[in-house]
Amino acid sequence: DIQMTQSPSSLSASIGDRVTIICRSGQNINNYLNWYQQKPGKAPRLLIYIASNLQSGVPSRFSGGGSGTDFTLTIDSLQPDDFATYYCQQTYNGVTFGPGTKVEIK
């Protein structure tokens, strides 16, 4: 199995801040990296697929980058609706989720 790590595990930020979450894979995953947002009691929501492609309907303040083993999710100008847990997911070899990053209000 390809292991995924995320950093930080949690962060506190203010409305309007720029937030970056890092996801690393244990081997090259050829950009088969997706990002999800999950709020308590709700199903995950797809934000970004194949590293940098914005899913339809997702606000443009979300962006994904990176390649190989190192990937980022950036939220420009954090909004109240963005406080949630974010997961990365590799689909290059099997499917594995990262452990998640909780974004909290400062």
Interacting residues toward another protein by CB under 8 A: 1, 32-34, 36, 38, 43-46, 49-50, 53, 55, 87, 89, 91, 94-100
Burial group, residue 51, by CB count within 10 angstroms (0-12, 13-18, 19+) = buried
For the bound state, the minimum distance from the C-beta of residue 22 to another protein, rounded and expressed in Å, comes to 16
For the bound state, the minimum distance from the C-beta of residue 13 to another protein, rounded and expressed in Å, comes to 20
Of 23, 41, 21, 16, give the one whose Cα is nearest residue 92: 23
CB-nearer residue toward another protein: 25 or 34 = 34
Going along 32-92, which residue ranges are E strands? 33-38, 45-49, 53-54, 62-67, 70-75, 85-90
For the bound state, the minimum distance from the C-beta of residue 16 to another protein, rounded and expressed in Å, comes to 28
CB-nearer residue toward another protein: 36 or 62 = 36
CB-nearer residue toward another protein: 18 or 104 = 104
